[in-house]
């Protein structure tokens, strides 16, 4: 298996930690660039016949607060976030779950980071219930109790 990690983080412009000027940074830089890059990657993989065998994952480590702060930014918010999965065994065009109108709380189909990891392991052919042992020989569940999200699988 081959894994590639890309990041768009740059503190001059384009960082995603938008504690200030959230809407300007997203509108003027982050979202147009992300839309172009992500759609070009998925289209290119599909055109080359590689999308079905390639899992593309776009996600962050948490969501952004539904409340705008005094610097026109949005602070950290772990209660609701996103994960975008394409190709590699995923249903095309599937949206799973929803939040309230301010994107502050999950309305339905809440999933955990462990569920996302379990889904990725499942797609890679790795049993998500596998245990590995740490340096003191304690068993650690690789998916931290998560289960694959079968509703998004093709």
Residue 53 inside a domain? The answer is: yes
Residue 134 inside a domain? The answer is: yes
Total length of the chain: 154
User: DSSP letters along the chain, please?
Assistant: ----------TTTT-S--SSSHHHHIIIIIHHHHHHHHHHHHHHHHHTT-GGG-EEEEE-SSEEEEEE-TTS-EEEETTS--EEEEETTBPTT----EE-TTS-SEEE----HHHHHHHHHHHHT--TT-EEE-TT--EEETTTT----GGGB-
Residue 3 inside a domain? The answer is: no
Residues 95 and 119 in one domain: no
What residue numbers bound the domain in which 103 lies?
11-109
Residue 152 inside a domain? The answer is: yes
Residues 102 and 116 in one domain: no
Residues 94 and 23 in one domain: yes
Residues 18 and 88 in one domain: yes
Residues 29 and 45 in one domain: yes
Task: Identify the DSSP state of 153.
Answer: B
At 4-63, the pLDDT tens digits run 888 777 665 568 888 999 999 999 988 998 999 999 999 999 999 999 999 999 998 889
Q: How far apart are CA 65 and CA 1, in angstroms?
A: 36
At 68-111, the pLDDT tens digits run 999 999 999 999 999 999 999 999 999 999 999 999 999 999 99
Residues 127 and 71 in one domain: no
**Whole-prediction pTM value?**
0.89
């Amino acid at each position: 298996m081959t894994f590639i990690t890309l990041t768009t983080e740059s503190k001059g412009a384009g960082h995603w930690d938008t504690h200030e000027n959230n809407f300007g940074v997203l509108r003027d830089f982050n979202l147009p660039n992300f839309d172009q890059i992500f759609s070009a990657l998925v289209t290119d993989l599909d055109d080359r016949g590689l999308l079905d065998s390639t899992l593309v994952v776009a996600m962050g480590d948490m969501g952004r607060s539904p409340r705008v702060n005094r610097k026109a930014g949005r602070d950290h918010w772990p209660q609701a976030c996103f994960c975008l999965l394409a190709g590699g065994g995923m249903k095309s065009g599937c949206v799973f779950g929803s939040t309230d109108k301010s994107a502050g709380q999950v309305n339905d189909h809440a999933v955990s980071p462990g569920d996302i990891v379990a889904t990725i392991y499942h797609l890679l052919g790795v049993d998500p219930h596998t245990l590995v042992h740490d340096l003191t020989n304690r068993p650690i569940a690789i998916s931290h109790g998560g289960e694959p999200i079968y509703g998004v699988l093709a």
